[in-house]
Structure 1
Amino acid sequence: MNQTRLGYLYGLGAYLLWGFFPIYFKLLRPAGPVEILAHRVVWSVAFVALLLAALRNYGFLRALLHRPRTLAGIVVAAALIAVNWGTYIYGVNSDRVVETALGYFINPLVSVLLGVFVLRERLRPAQWAALGVGALAVAVLTVDYGRPPWLALTLAVSFAGYGLVKKRLGLPAAEGLFVESAVLALPALAYLGWLVHRGDSTFGHGSAGHTALLVLAGAATAIPLLLFAGAANRLPLSAVGMLQYLAPILQLGCGVLIFHEPMPPARLAGFALVWLALIVFTVDALRQAGQSRAEARAAGAPRPPVPAEAGGQRTS
């Protein structure tokens, strides 16, 4: 199969799975958000450990022990992804799926802001315009909710920060997820043990299907991440950027169409402003990517032959 086509299949698989996550996490009730998060961490470690064992790929652990700055970065990444996962699970199971979708719509704009303030990147006028429209959208949604959309903002900031740290670390997907989950595994196991001691654990006390779904949280976490890595390695960044909007669109659909969460006119107007900001941002990114490719082709093209008159010498 063509590698580009395979990349699109991997990307679609990843974002389809992420898009239908609200349905999966709803099925994990009556487990609370922190218990679900703890199981997600523990079973992620187990799943990825088995995968790495099958691939005989444990050598990277020895190398990490001699890179303390990388280990510190992994701890920061683990903390950020724990906040993101926990907030998302809480949002889904408190009937705020629409707001969680908003967080992932806003995420690209927050990533741009981090590029300005952390990486000292300079923005093009269209990017500033997109950020301005995005800020207006947050203001409209604040009026609609009667409060700032804290849950959406927490998701956007935590995931954008996680992406920034991961970009600097440069670890492969499976290895990175394993180490990040391993960092969180001890507190997760301690929390699950505390729940068992109190008699509040739902693991093994509900139906067999519920217990199986908790165990499968590890695979549900790792598989879309590995599919995403496969897509990122085969597709241009602009294509991956377009695909990323599929997940929040599906999450929004789950919230409104399946779970019947309200979407009053003011909230819809706020979402429309977010979508306008993303359209401006995406069109500008695609235009810039096209210019970069054209410049790269021009730089790599052979120089045309110099006419005899221009060169000051005739050959005939």
Structure 2
Amino acid sequence: MTTKPVSAGTPDLAAARRESMMGVGFGLSAFLFWGIAPLYFKLVQHVAPVEILAHRIVWSAGLLALLVWVMGRWREVATVLTSRRLLLPLIGSATILAGNWFVYIVAVNEGHVLQASLGYYINPLVNVLLGMLFLKERLRLPQSIAVGLATTGVLVMVAAAGEAPWVALFLGFSFGFYGLIRKLVRVESMVAVFIEAAVLVPPALIFLVYRGQTGGGSFGAVDLRTDLLLIAAGLVTLLPLVWFGAAARRLSLSTLGILQYIAPTGQFLLAVLLFGEIFTPVHMVTFACIWAGLAIYTIDALRRS
């Protein structure tokens, strides 16, 4: 009787492929959701951005606490909370994430969705730079050309408008650093997102209580629709964030960069076709440079894959 030789690496390879496919699924879900997210923030445009941010934090933390309890993850949470090596980076990522959320809300509410989409278009190229600086990744020639084209596009806008597109730059770089920290910190996605939200809850609650007592709050003071929309901020925040965290743990930064095109494309289409934001010749040149850079970057990444 003969037996077939079994390759020792085959099970590991199959498991790695399953993990990769799960990562792609999580990434697609997250970025498709983020692509249409401006629709939600337009519905709560009458609420102050900082109050929307506080509600995002509080309600998402509540939902996460429920999920952690249902899934029996409190022991993992306790492990992270008692480890400075794990907790301090997550406090940093939470702070970065709160800043990213706030600037994005302001951008949508003030009619700068086009610039927000620009920020998330340059984010994959920001990831390339961060990979080079912090993960010891070397820039290949196509990546260098792509980064150069994106830089050229930003400089065109600076020269034409007389100032840098700060919203776009902040969103692109803040989300890049957030993804980098989550890539380096070996904490399960659900637990990490819960801890990030939890450390932001105390200041958010203090603000909401103060806002309510001074008569400036919208929750319970406008109408039932507004209250329900603010409560829904938890779900709108939680779902794509958990999906992104799961994708970041399973995929390389370059693969995440490719999937990230989905979100700014959705935002770009909403800005131009639905929200009526003006797409000027300067925008055309800037976006063309960045799209060209992204095309080169994507072709290079796919060819190497």
- Alignment correspondent of 2:68: 52
Q: Of the candidates 205, 212, 229, which is equivalent to residue 189 of structure 1?
A: 205
2:224 corresponds to which letter in structure 1? A
SS of the residue 2:122 aligns to? helix
3-state DSSP of counterpart to 1:158? helix
Call closer, same or farther: CA 1:7–1:123 in 2, change over 3 Å: closer
Match of 2:226 among 205, 210, 219: 210
* Alpha-carbon distance between aligned partners in 2 of 1:173 and 1:78, rounded to the nearest angstrom: 13
Of 11, 30, 34, the residue aligned with 1:14 is: 30
With over 3 angstroms needed to count, the CA separation of the structure-2 counterparts of 1:162 and 1:233, relative to structure 1, is closer
**Residue 82 of structure 1: how far off its partner (Å):** 0.8
Structure 1: distance between partners of 2:69 and 2:37: 27
Matches within 5 A, 1:37-116: 37-116=53-132
**Residues of 2 paired with 1:216 and 1:183: CA distance?**
20
SS of alignment partner, residue 147 of structure 1: coil
How big is the shift at 1:212?
Answer: 0.6
Name the CA distance, whole Å, in 2 between partners of 1:160 and 1:240.
11
SS for the counterpart of 1:29 is coil
TM normalised by structure 1 equals 0.85
- Report Cα offsets for 1:70-95 as digits up to 9, x if no partner: 11111111111011111101111111
Cα distance, 1:123 vs structure 2: 1.0
Matches of 1:128 and 1:214, distance apart in 2:
43
Q: Return 5+ residue gaps in structure 2 as ranges.
A: 1-16
- RMSD over equivalenced CA pairs, Å: 2.1
Q: Deviations over 1:264-302 (max 9, x none)?
A: 11111100100011111111111222xxxxxxxxxxxxx
% same residue? 41
**Contact map agreement 2:179 2:248 (CA 8 A) in 1:** no
Opposite residue 70 of structure 2, the aligned amino acid is A
Change (3 A) 1:208 1:52: same
Larger Rg: 1
CA contact (8 A) 1:133 1:273 kept: yes
1:257 to 2:273 alignment:
yes
The amino acid that maps onto 1:103 is G
Corresponding residue to 1:163 among 176, 179, 196: 179
How many residues are matched?
A: 288
Pick from 173, 177, 183 the counterpart of residue 189 of structure 2: 173
Q: Is the 2:127–2:257 Cα contact (8 Å) retained in structure 1? A: no
Range with greater deviation from structure 2 (266-275 or 220-229): 220-229
Q: Deviations over 1:224-272 (max 9, x none)?
A: 2333455567778766543321110000111111110010111111001
**Gap change, CA 1:70 and 1:233, over 3 Å in 2:** closer
Structure-to-structure mapping, 1:293-308, within 5 angstroms:
none
